[in-house]
Structure 1
Amino acid sequence: MLEEEYQPRRRLPPHLRPVPVPEAPFSFELRTAELGDLPSIREIYNHYVLNSSITFDESPWIFPVLRKKFDDVTQRGFPFIVAVSPSGQLLGFAYVYPWKAKAAYRVSVENHIYLGPASTGKGLGRSMMVELISRSRAAGVREIIAVIADRNADASIRMHERLGFKDVGHMGRVGFKFDRWLGTVTMRLPLRK
């Protein structure tokens, strides 16, 4: 081997080095979901159905099922929101749905929030939850309940805690997906006394 092969690489002087281009800030707009958003919503949700245990659904959403859920949420006057990038790409969605089917539960809802895989860890989930809570309060909701998978959902649990949700119970081994048992953590946020 030649001696020059062992020489350390030379560096350009600071004034000749290229200036690094800063990464564009992560930005988004929160707005009410529209019918045209449903294909992107379905794509995001089905990613989690097929690749994670944060939803206990095992079958991907088909369009008629999603459309029925969307119509039901909007007819009840409950919030269904999306986050959209400046280029128009849907980054995530969130909505509330009645906690139980019986009429007496009509002012208690369960929240649902799903982010596109590239949108996690950037504060989007928290922003969406703050907006969802605000819109739920305006819609007359008295109680928001979060039912969170007890595996691989630590970030979701922490986010809910930071927003004032209190842990009200755990249920172990109530779901079975991907050949393993799953439990849930239930949290609640009262909006009115």
Structure 2
Amino acid sequence: MPAHVSDSAPPSGLRIRPATAGDLPAITALYASEVRDNVATYEYDAPDQTEMQRRWQGVVAQGLPYLVAELDGRFAGYAYASSYRTREGYRWTVEDTVYVHPDYAGRGVGSALLRRLIDDCTALGLRQMVAVVGDITNVASIALHEKFGFRTVGVFQGLGRKHDRWLDTVQMQLALGLGNATAPDT
């Protein structure tokens, strides 16, 4: 973990655990609001629960973490790692996704989810994590990733369009474990 990351305790009552099928209604609802109202994702039409279940199962079937945060027993957000690209040479690289329910923003939920996601992916022997931040104005997501040592490696200007505007996409990267210093275990 980078030296500048605070080791402060997560909020009292916060629990991070693997997602289950029972979490899919809350995950689907949170993602639908992001699709409808924001630009963290460039998806235009919110997927239904059946599609979100298919996506969750796809992540889990690859042996990658898909996590849920509960604060005082209530759904507070979710995070998962997915393949960065499908080509074999990228198999040690994942992309992270973190969504926090607006009622819990600024309370350490995103940090706890990302910390656990990084730890779980490192334990799996993965070597790189990429964050694709949906718009350069998403300063909360950029700051969250910077807190954990991600560095901006590129900004694609006008890469996507949503809500009648062009969006700049920020690419950030974090080396996991030994990163690219040694060959991975195959």
The normalised TM-score by structure 2 is 0.86
Could you tell me how far apart the structure 2 residues matched to 1:152 and 1:38 are?
28
Corresponding position of 2:156: 171
Matches within 5 A, 1:47-62: 47-62=33-48
RMSD after superposition: 1.3
Give yes or no for contact 1:46–1:60 (8 Å, CA) kept in 2. Answer: yes
- What secondary structure, in the 3-state scheme, does the structure 1 residue paired with 2:172 have? strand
Aligned residues: 168
Question: Which deviates more from structure 2 when the two are superposed, residues 25-34 or residues 77-86?
Answer: 25-34
Deviation string, structure 1 residues 85-131 (Cα, Å, up to 9, x no partner): 22x32110000000012122111110000011111111111111111
Choose from 55, 58, 63 the match for 1:77.
63
Percent of residue pairs bearing the same amino acid type: 34
Q: Distance in 2 between matches of 1:152 and 1:90?
A: 26
Indicate the structure whose relative CO is greater, using CA pairs within 8 Å and at least 6 residues apart: 2
Q: Following the alignment from structure 1 to structure 2, what is the Cα–Cα distance between the partners of residues 112 and 165?
A: 14
Equivalence map 1:7-46=2 (5 Å) = 27-46=13-32
Equivalent residue of 2:126, what SS?
coil
Task: Measure, in 2, the Cα distance between the counterparts of 1:180 and 1:154.
Answer: 18
Q: Which amino acid aligns with 2:61?
A: Q
CA–CA separation in structure 1 for the residues paired with 2:78 and 2:142: 18
User: After TM superposition, which residue ranges in structure 1, 4 or more long, deviate above 4 angstroms?
Assistant: none
Q: State the SS of the aligned residue for 2:35.
A: helix
Give 1:21's aligned residue.
Answer: none
Q: Which amino acid aligns with 2:173?
A: R
Unpaired segments ≥5 residues, structure 2: 1-10, 182-186
User: Which structure has the greater CA radius of gyration?
Assistant: 1
Please give the secondary structure, in 1, of the residue aligned with 2:57.
helix
Given the alignment, which residue of 61, 65, 78 partners 2:51? Answer: 65
CA displacement, residues 16-54 of structure 1 (integer Å, 9 cap, x when unaligned): xxxxxxxxx763211111111111101111111000111
Whichever residue aligns with residue 78 of structure 1, its letter is: L
Q: Secondary structure at the match of 2:79?
A: strand
State the SS of the aligned residue for 1:164. Answer: coil
Structure 1: unaligned runs, 5 residues or longer: 1-24
Residue 122 (structure 2) pairs with residue 137 (structure 1)? yes
Partner of 2:45, secondary structure, is coil
User: TM-score under structure 1 normalisation?
Assistant: 0.83
